[in-house]
Amino acid sequence: MILAVSLNSAMDRTVVLPGRLAPGEIQRARSVDVRMGGKGLNVAWAAARLGAKVSVTGFAGGLTGRFLREECARHGIRDGLVTTAGESRACYMFASADGSPPTVVNEPGPTVSFAEVDALVATYTSLVCEASLVVLSGSLPPGAPADIYRRMIEIARRAGVHCILDSSGEPLREGIAANPWLIKPNADEFAALTGGPWQSPEALRRRCRDLTATGVANVVVSLGGEGALVTAGDQCWHVQPPSVQTANPTACGDIFVAGVAVRIDRGEPLLEGIRLGTACAAANAAHPVPYLPTPAELGFLLAGVNIRAD
Ligand SMILES: Nc1ncnc2c1ncn2[C@@H]1O[C@H](COP(=O)(O)OP(=O)(O)OP(=O)(O)O)[C@@H](O)[C@H]1O
Ligand SMILES: [Mg+2]
Give pTM, 2 decimals.
0.97
* Closest ligand 1 atom to Cα of 250: 26
Distance 285 CA to ligand 1 centre (A): 7
Ligand 1 atom closest to the Cα of residue 244 is: 3
Give the residue, by CA position, lying nearest to ligand 1 atom 14: 253
Average pLDDT value for residue range 203-228 = 97
Protein residue with its CA nearest to atom 3 in ligand 1: 225
Ligand found nearest the CA of 12: 1
Q: How many angstroms does the Cα of residue 275 sit away from the middle of ligand 1? A: 13
- How many angstroms is it from 188 CA to the middle of ligand 2? 10
**Which of 164, 252, 297, 307 has most ligand 1 atoms within 8 Å of its beta carbon, as the pocket-test mutant?**
252
Supply the pLDDT for residue 310.
85
Residues with C-beta less than 6 Å from any ligand 1 atom? 186, 222-225, 227-228, 241, 244, 246, 249-254, 256, 278, 281-282, 285
Rounded percentage of the chain residues whose pLDDT exceeds 70: 100
C-alpha–C-alpha distance, residues 81 and 104, integer Å: 26
Establish how many alpha carbons lie within 13 A of residue 66's alpha carbon, considering only the half-sphere containing its beta carbon: 2
For residue 121, pLDDT over 90 is answered with yes
* Average pLDDT, rounded, for the chain: 96
Please state the atom number of ligand 1 nearest to the C-alpha of residue 166. 22
Q: Best of 222, 248, 257 to mutate for ligand 1, by most ligand atoms within 8 A of CB?
A: 222
How does DSSP classify residue 218? Answer: E
Q: 180 C-alpha vs ligand 2 centroid, how far in Å?
A: 16
The DSSP secondary structure of 23-70, one letter per residue, reads: TT-----SEEEEEEESHHHHHHHHHHHTT--EEEEEEEEHHHHHHHHH
Q: How far is the CA of 194 from the centre of ligand 2 (A)?
A: 16
Q: Can you give the pLDDT at residue 97?
A: 82
Q: Which residues of 137-153 are buried (b: 16+ CB within 10 A; e: fewer)?
A: bbbbbebbeebbbbbbb
Rg (CA), the chain: 19
**Closest ligand 1 atom to 223 CA:** 17
CA distance 137 to 271: 21
Dump pLDDT digits (tens) for 179-205. 999 999 999 999 999 999 999 999 999
Our measurement of the distance from residue 31's CA atom to the centroid of its chain's CA atoms, rounded to an integer in Å, reads: 26
Q: Rounded to 5 degrees, what are φ and ψ at 272?
A: -70, -40
Ligand 2 centroid – CA 288 distance (Å)? 17
Distance, in Å, from the CA atom of 266 to the CA atom of 285, rounded to the nearest integer, reads: 25
Strands 235-240 and 228-232: antiparallel
Distance 297 CA to ligand 1 centre (A): 18
The arithmetic mean of pLDDT across residues 276-283, rounded, is 98
Q: What confidence score (pLDDT) does residue 215 get?
A: 95
DSSP per residue, 140-160? --TTS-TTHHHHHHHHHHHTT
**pLDDT at res. 255:** 98
Q: Each residue of 56-112: pLDDT tens digit?
A: 999 999 999 999 999 999 999 999 999 999 999 999 999 988 878 889 999 999 999
